[in-house]
Structure 1
Amino acid sequence: MNCHPAQTAWFTEQMPARTPLTVDLSAPHPYDAPGIFSFLAARAIAGVESTDLTDPCRLVYARTLALPHGTGSVEVTARRRGGGGAGRGGRAAPWTLTARVSAAPEDVEEAARRLRRLFDLDTDPHVVDSALSSDPHLTPSVHAHPGLRVPGAADAQELVIRALVGRQISVAAARTHLSRLAARLGSPCDSPFAGLSRIFPTSAQLAQLPPSPGRGESLDPDRPLRLPRAGVEAVRGAARALADGAIDLGTDEGAPPDAAALRARLLELPGIGPWTAGYISMRVARDPDAWLPGDVALVAGARALGILPAAQGRATAREHRALADHAERWSPWRSYAVLHLWRAAGPPGAAPGTPPARLEP
């Protein structure tokens, strides 16, 4: 299915679930479906997203969407051809991706376009893997995980808020905060797909979060977002900027925003530093060459891959500088190198896409 431009609007009214339409999502081979589905599963917001990864040859991710003509929902299924055995030449059998879309007919192509962006389906994996495997430190990871993808954003405004909430806490803690926020402020949404019941709050709704109490005043234990004052104010400020159109997240035709301009604008907002701006650029602007300064999981991954000397304890400023210098050789594909390092940083036996907590410096 070809995806055509669609105007962006934000609707939160409750609409009845429609009969899903099946859409083919052509995936380039090799395609690291387990990596990207596990990444999304680790961050899934209750009610807004659901996943089923129990069958290693059939992976499912579903979510609700605010679309130009109303609310909708999608369910993406990745299946390994041949049931998971090796293909010709002993290589792993390729994955096929299909989506079921429950939305207004006018929104089906828009939903498919967002899914292609979310699952990074339009990048040539051979170009990326060839470039990164030229570094002998990354070669084992590239060979172990060919076609590793960088997740995009199905909802750009939502991703900005997610990045702000998760910037100084673990992936699991961010998921808890965001799930509570969706349950409290998100709008109800009927969906034919299991586990989906809410639309993530709009920027206008989040801009109305109660302000943080002043010094000496106690925090309301029942508040929707239970972050420290600085974190709440950062979310409120970004939500206001998004609601007012002060942050460019792309055109109505679906083209991503300019990555450098987006980072510069984000850094002007209170509470947003280089890590957050880089992460948003990577996932919203689809910047293939984003780098996340100060990310402790990147240092852990670099230690594991032998890029930095093996060490214990907290990452040092010297290690961050050395890794940033080394990463220059991965340009223009540093975003993909980030995913390889995160993968290497995960504890033994952890699902791919679940690195340690990352800290905004």
Structure 2
Amino acid sequence: MIGNPTTTELPDLRTCEQARLSRDARFDGLFFTAVTSTGIYCRPVCPAPAPRREHVVYYSAAAAAEAAGFRPCLRCRPELAPHTDALRRGDTTVARALQMIDAGLLDTQTATELARRLAVGDRQLRRLFVARLGATPMQVQSTRRLLFAKQLLGASALPVTQIALASGFRSLRRFNAAFRSAYRLAPSALRKRAQAPTHDALVLRLGYRPPYDFAELLAFLRARALPGLECIDGDSYARAFGSAQHPAWLRVSAWGAGEHALRLELYGAAPGDLLALVARVRRMFDLDSDPHAIARALGGDVRLRALLQRRPGLRLPGAWDGFELAVRAVLGQQVSVAAARTLARRLLERHGEPVAPAGADGLRWLFPSAAKLADADLDGLGLTRKRVATVRTLARAVQVGRVDFAPGRALDAQIDAWTALPGIGAWTAHYIALRALAHPDAFPAADLVLRRAAAGNGDGDALGARALEARAEAWRPWRAYATIHLWRASAPGDSA
């Protein structure tokens, strides 16, 4: 008899069985298959011969499978699976908690502090996690660390000591003990089984669920790219990051060979930053969304149904840095994309941090910090006095923590905090939430291009903002994806 689902987040048993037997990549990361006869858990796409039905138990999260005593498969490598998006997106308590865990909160804080920030009791949070994921917050954190370590052991030439640091362990002894306890082998033994990397960069495979329109996402980012800070061609995205004293750069491209994954190349990144960097790239390129769940939610609208069929792989185009995106959103208020890009380029060239020597593709700038822009000379850039005041107000608010880009805050709270700043209206606040925070329900309803695209009559008429908001109630909690589809349906260059 097939094991019963451990949480309510699993697809039904028939769907799990069909996906497992057909190795359906659309379900990769949405559940894991544990095999009682071997003590191993796998992704539904595992190429190994399918186990017998009576030996299978399904889990909605890798942490649940590991909490039940199963070890990750060395063939399909569960650490490469995309995350379960439905659990990590939106404003539920579990979603907000997972966002904080992914951002590294439990690296330095306790589960009690996590519960306090969510305004729930310690026991209540634990019960919610067990009910939804089949594992406690600390078990989720432990699995997150160990699976990332497992990925680095197989993909990098980093010393085991640095891999322990990169995975959030404060000592090699603790790392070795945790790894042995969970996987019943030493980290060095796993490394011996892996093929030794032959490249200079740290190259990581970042999986996603198909369909995924990487070319369309690159096109969106390319239209807004700042030379010297970013370089976007037809195949990849590259940018500088780090500090002027310790610069680094990255490149993101398709993995190739028909694989449902992107290739992340990191140069100069500190080992202790790797886990956070990977989480940032996954968010920026929206690698954990479930396009089929989104299509089911939005497909009831006739206009959106046609757009979803035309471009089923559209994702949210995220941003590398929240402050950078917020400044550029202010610069883009009521002007075209090209004009906003020109203003941002001028600001970067005057106040950006120079990187020497320049990285590949002429990457020579870092975006200025909030501290630098708070009192910066912005005259002569082409900004109105009001825009200058708003940029400075924004920078000062970020400096003192009045607004931030920390994950785990509910959308309404984020919008209220941003719109309390002079010069920041609902459009700008929702745009920041959509791109900097990757909130799936952010919705700049006042956007004229959005209202025209939603009308869909081709004569330039636009729905009223209130009418669009009323219509979009049926699109929750995925209104941000509806926004991207409607913007893409507009004439090139018209979207925000």
TM-score (norm 2): 0.57
Match of 1:162 in 2: 328
2:377 is equivalent to residue 210 of structure 1:
yes
Once residues 144 and 113 of structure 1 are traced to their aligned partners in structure 2, the CA distance between those partners, rounded to angstroms, is 29
The CA deviation string for residues 209-253 of structure 1, in whole angstroms up to 9 with x for no partner, is 237xxxxxxxx5xx3x32111011100100011122221321xxx
The residue matched to 1:137 in structure 2 has which SS? helix
Partner of residue 286, structure 1: 438
Displacement of 1:192: 3.8
Q: Which structure has the larger Rg over C-alpha atoms?
A: 2
- CA displacement at 1:112 relative to structure 2: 1.4
Taking only the aligned residue pairs, the percentage that are identical comes to: 40
Task: Say if 1:327 and 1:80 are closer, same or farther in 2 by CA, change over 3 A.
Answer: farther
Match of residue 483 from structure 2 = 338
Q: CA deviation at 1:100?
A: 0.6
The CA deviation at 1:196 is 1.0
Following superposition, the deviation at residue 322 of structure 1 comes to: 2.3
CA distance in 2, matches of 1:29, 1:139: 18
Q: Shift of residue 149 of structure 1?
A: 0.6
**DSSP-derived class of the 1:332 partner:** coil
Matched, 1:100 2:265: yes
How far did residue 357 of structure 1 move?
5.4
Equivalent residue, structure 2, for 1:45:
226
Shift of 1:300: 2.5
- 2:418 and 2:488 map into 1 onto residues whose CA distance is 27
Q: Does 1:311 align with 2:459?
A: yes
Q: Give the unaligned 5+ runs of structure 1.
A: 9-18, 54-58, 83-93, 212-219, 348-354
Shift of residue 22, structure 1, vs aligned partner:
0.9
CA distance in 2, matches of 1:51, 1:272: 29
Aligned match of 2:104: 5
1:44 Cα deviation after fit:
0.5
Pair 1:198-2:368 in alignment: no
Q: Aligned pair 1:23/2:204, yes or no?
A: yes
User: Structure 2: which amino acid aligns with 1:5?
Assistant: G
- Amino acid of the residue matched to residue 414 of structure 2? L
> What is the 5 A alignment of 1:242-321?
242-250=398-406, 255-304=407-456, 309-312=457-460, 315=462, 319-321=464-466
Shift of 1:45: 1.1
Q: CA RMSD in A?
A: 2.6
Residues 46, 179 of structure 1: 8 Å contact kept: yes
For each residue in 1:238-278, what CA deviation from the matched residue of structure 2 results, as whole angstroms up to 9, or x when unmatched? 0011122221321xxxx344322121111111100010011
Cα deviations across residues 93-120 of structure 1 (Å, max 9, x unaligned)? x653101111222223222111101001
Looking at secondary structure, tell me which structure has more helix per residue.
2
Label 1:301 to 1:46 Cα distance change in 2 as closer, same or farther (>3 A).
same
- AA aligned to 1:233 is A
Structure 2 CA distance for aligned equivalents of residues 340 and 177 of structure 1:
26
What corresponds to 1:120 in structure 2?
Answer: 286
- Separation (CA, whole Å) in 2 of partners of 1:186 and 1:328: 41
How many angstroms does 1:153 deviate by? Answer: 2.4
For residues 288 and 311 of structure 1, what CA distance do their matches in structure 2 show? 29
Report the equivalent of 1:350.
Answer: none
Q: 2:366 is aligned with what amino acid? A: I
Rounded to whole Å, the distance in 1 between the matches of 2:447 and 2:289 is 25
C-alpha displacement of 1:178: 0.8
Residue among 237, 251, 255 paired with 1:75: 251
What's 1:174 paired with?
A: 340
CA 70–113 in structure 1, closer or farther in 2 if over 3 Å, else same:
farther
Match of 1:91 in 2: none
Q: Tell me, yes or no, if structure 1 residue 237 matches structure 2 residue 393.
A: yes
Code of the residue aligned with 2:300 in structure 1: it is S
**Does structure 1 retain, via aligned residues, the 8 Å contact 2:207–2:260?**
no
Residues 68, 283 of structure 1: CA spacing in aligned structure 2 closer, same or farther, 3 A cutoff?
A: farther
Asked whether the equivalents of residues 27 and 96 of structure 1 are also in contact (C-alpha less than 8 Å), the reply is yes
Cross-structure match for 2:216 = 35
One-letter amino acid of the structure 1 residue matched with residue 396 of structure 2: R
- For the residues of structure 1 that align with 2:243 and 2:274, how far apart are their CA atoms? 9
Post-superposition CA distance 1:299-321 (Å, at most 9, x none):
221233xxxx44336x4xx6333
> What's the CA shift for 1:67?
6.9
AA at the equivalent of 2:274: V
- Whether the 8 Å contact between 1:298 and 1:342 is mirrored in structure 2 is yes
Letter in 2 for 1:322: A
Distance 1:245 1:256, change over 3 A: same
Q: Please give the secondary structure, in 1, of the residue aligned with 2:361.
A: coil
Letter in 2 for 1:96: A
The amino acid that maps onto 1:339 is I
Q: CA deviation at 1:66?
A: 3.2
Matched residue, 1:111: 277
Equivalence for 2:41: none
Residue-by-residue CA offset, 1:7-45 (whole Å, 9 max, x unaligned): 99xxxxxxxxxx531111112211121221111111111
Compared with structure 1, are the counterparts of its residues 193 and 45 closer, same or farther at alpha carbon in structure 2 (3 Å cutoff)?
A: same
Aligned partners of 1:48 and 1:63 also within 8 Å: yes
TM-score after normalising by structure 1:
0.77
Higher relative contact order (CA 8 A, sep 6+): 1
